[in-house]
Amino acid sequence: MIRSDIRALNAYHVPDSSGMLKLDAMENPYSLPDELRSEWARRLSESDINRYPDADMLPLRSRIAELEGVQPDQVLIGNGSDEIIQMLLMAADAGPCAVPKPTFVMYEAVSKWLRRPVASMTLKPDFSLDAKAFLNMCSREKASLAFLACPNNPTGNMWPREDVQHIADNYRGLLVIDEAYGPFAEESYRDMITRNVLLLRTFSKLGMAGLRLGYALGDATLITELNKVRLPYNINTLTQLSVAFFLDHFAVFEEQAKKICVERERLLAVMQAMDKVEVFPSQTNFLLFRVADPAAVFGGLKQAGILIKNLHAKGSLLEGCLRVTIGTPEENNRFANALKELI
């Protein structure tokens, strides 16, 4: 009944985090201010949930277009940017999907579901990308689309503008620049959008992970084609209303992102002072770090009630690596103190 290659896969595992300090999923640690909560609830209570949601979402696309400085017909909305990754992999020409390695796991996972081959190129040990070699790989493998997460997950670094621009200028397929961590990065590559270069963004990391709303910005003709593989009512009414409401109060989320960046630099310095930790600078809301015994550190933190992500894979570029999401100052102190005890 089910394809054998699907049966051979493992389902995406989300660990149980009940009662834990959750620093594993790149969420914003700050909750919504009380004064916004009641007005938000009031607006939601007025929604017509007996009706299907607005399928075209022109009002929401217009708001996002205004925020990003593009036209509404250049905006495609997805149930998280994950769903847009899926739409892209469904709609792009046949041929491999090109990715650096390591990068965000969903590009490869969804390619597998859709039986699309993946061409990957391992980053240098300092996590930098050889842009020329990447381009060569794309043409050698005849890759029809390529994903570049800028900044990259899980390494946290931003590839230099000239390298990404070089790829954007010379790649003939569809290039997707994924700016999921854009709110924490020094710059955006939004200006690189062309007829074959698309930008992917999300509200998840900014404090709305539970709403599931991501979007692509690109050439209007390309967006029209991608819209054909979007399920008609992919964004539910409550999410549409909520995002529209939160866009009216966007400064609250931007302020929180700024606080997260300040905390990231503070935690980086604290971890840099630990002899037995190699921590990598980041332009995201997480820090990647390497320790001698990642299983012991991960397990010890878990015992202390702190959940982070174990990325260790022997012989890979991520050997010994763990990833921690930036929390509130108190949460970061609790994590840093526990880490100190374990190394």
Ligand X SMILES: Cc1ncc(COP(=O)(O)O)c(C=O)c1O
Token pair of 115, please?
Answer: 């039986």
Q: Do 319 and 5 contact (CB within 8 A), yes or no?
A: no
Task: Pick the closer one to ligand X by CB: 184 or 289.
Answer: 184
Residue of the chain from 24, 82, 163, 331 that contacts ligand X (CB under 6 A)? 82
Among 21, 23, 24, 26, binds ligand X (CB under 6 A): 26
The residue (of 158 and 180) whose beta carbon lies closer to ligand X is 180
Phi, psi torsion values for 130, nearest 5 degrees: -85, 100
Binding-site string for ligand X from residue 166 to residue 185, where x marks contact by CB under 6 A and - marks none: ------------x-x-----
Q: How many CB atoms lie within 10 A of CB 54?
A: 14
What does the alpha-carbon distance between residue 123 and residue 297 come to, in Å, rounded to a whole number?
25
Query: Alpha helices of 154-249 — where are they, by DSSP H?
Result: 161-170, 220-227, 237-247
Q: Where does this chain touch ligand X (CB under 6 A) — which range of 79-87, 250-258, 267-275, 293-301?
A: 79-87
Only segment of 77-85, 221-229, 268-276, 296-304 that touches ligand X (CB under 6 A): 77-85
**CB 215 within 8 Å of CB 78:** yes
Among 28, 111, 204, 282, binds ligand X (CB under 6 A): 204
Closest approach of ligand X to the CB of residue 104, in Å: 4
Number of H helices, E strands in the chain: 12, 13
Instruction: Write out the binding residues for ligand X, residues 233-252 only, by CB under 6 A.
Output: none
Cα–Cα distance, 157 to 159 (Å, whole number): 6
Q: Output 151 or 334, the one with its CB closest to ligand X.
A: 151
| H-type alpha helices, 273-328 | 294-303
What is the rounded end-to-end Cα distance, in angstroms, of the chain?
Answer: 49
Among 24, 61, 64, 81, binds ligand X (CB under 6 A): 81
Rounded Cα gap, residues 311 and 332, in angstroms: 20
Give whichever of 68 and 293 is closer to ligand X, judged by the CB atom.
Answer: 68
Is residue 215 involved in binding ligand X (CB under 6 A)? Answer: no
Using alpha carbons only, give the angle 7, 9, 13 rounded to the nearest 5 degrees: 125
- Look at strands 321-325 and 286-290 and give their pairing: antiparallel
Task: Confirm or reject binding of residue 149 to ligand X (CB under 6 A).
Answer: yes
Which positions ≥6 away from 201 have C-beta within 8 Å?
68, 81, 179, 180, 182, 214, 215, 216, 217
Window of 39-47, 55-63, 78-86, 303-311 that interacts with ligand X by CB under 6 A: 78-86
CB of 45 to ligand X, least distance (A): 26
State which of residues 74, 86, 202, 234 lies at the interface with ligand X (CB under 6 A).
202
To ligand X, the closest distance from the beta carbon of 108 in angstroms equals: 12
In the complex, residue closest to ligand X by CB: 80
**Least distance between ligand X and beta carbon 150 (Å):** 9
Residue 28 lies near ligand X (rule: CB under 6 A): no
Please report where in the chains the tokens 């894979």 appear, as a residue.
313
Interacting span for ligand X (CB under 6 A) from 39-47, 67-75, 76-84, 297-305:
76-84
Cis peptide before 53 (omega within 30 of 0): no
Q: Does 80 bind ligand X (CB under 6 A)?
A: yes
Q: State which of residues 28, 111, 144, 153 lies at the interface with ligand X (CB under 6 A).
A: 153
Nearer to ligand X, 202 or 256 (CB): 202
Task: Give whole-number Cα distances, 102 to 122, 174, 232, 315, in Å.
Answer: 7, 20, 33, 13
> Which residues make Cβ contacts (< 8 Å) with residue 314, sequence separation at least 6?
none
The footprint of ligand X (CB under 6 A) covers 26, 80-82, 104, 149, 153, 178, 180, 202, 204, 214
